[in-house]
Amino acid sequence: MSTIVNVFVESPDTRSERRFDLHITVEQLKAKLELITGIPVQNQKIVVENNDGQTIAQLTDDSKQLGYYSLSNLQTLKVIDTNPSTSFTGQLSDTSNVEKFELSEEAYAKRTDTVLAYKQQHKMGRFAPPSESPSPVPQVNIPIGARCEVESTEEGLHKRGTVRFVGPTKFAKTGVWVGVEYDEPIGRNDGSVQGERYFTCRPNYGVFVRPDRVKIGDFPVEEIDFDDEEI
């Protein structure tokens, strides 16, 4: 049969679970409890309580072993300080005499080292800017790979090519753009803008235009005529 018991030790400032040998005396127990509770041996009054908090014994005879009091598992050894003025027990948990530091809301708002100031600086929580719902992307019936002609302000100039991209872009906050690969090097890019690639083509063959400037149809590639003196 085991002679070790697991009990709870409770004092004004502590509560913990401990293991004790039933063969030690109450005097030896008090020496151990002084290290746990901070209550001097001469000031200790030890009461044994059951799980319901009812007192079932008092360890009054220092010479008796713990087994004499039928100490069993999960009971509580309640250590009472008979002279708290000398051992200062209970003062760690008693905050009634502690002066409280109070700061008005106005003074708190003026400080720069507070959570409030941090949230204001980093625009967090209620200081975050209102989120803007992204505008819905309009549907554009321009298929990728379709032949097209881009509206031109120059008379007689037909800007023909192939649709390579349709959708929103990072270089414009709103709307849909159409990426076109021209048949001739009359474009502005190679399918990328500001480091973001949307399609791939040769340099100066790519361009991005609004959908209303694009006409879809069976536009053949126009031959480029050179003068006899040009090669």
Report angle CA 36, 42, 47 to the nearest 5 degrees: 65
First to last CA, the chain: 111
**Tell me, what amino acid is at 103?**
L
Cβ atoms of 199 and 163 within 8 Å: the answer is: no
Cβ neighbours, 10 Å, residue 67: 13
Residue where the block lists tokens 């063959």: 205
Residue where the block lists tokens 């127990």: 29
Q: Residue 149 in 3-state DSSP? A: strand
Cβ atoms of 82 and 43 within 8 Å: the answer is: yes
Per-residue pLDDT of the chain (231 residues; tens, 9 = 90+): 678 999 999 998 899 999 999 999 999 999 999 999 999 999 999 999 998 889 999 999 999 999 999 899 999 999 999 988 877 666 555 556 556 667 778 887 888 888 788 888 888 877 787 766 556 666 789 999 999 999 988 777 789 999 999 999 999 988 999 999 999 999 999 999 999 999 999 999 999 999 999 999 999 987 655 454 433
Q: Please tell me the pTM assigned to this model.
A: 0.41
Show Cβ contacts of residue 58 under 8 Å, excluding neighbours closer than 6 positions. Answer: 45, 46, 47, 48
What domains does the chain contain, in order, with CATH numbers? Answer: 4-81 (3.10.20.90), 146-216 (2.30.30.190)
Q: Residue 126 in 3-state DSSP? A: helix
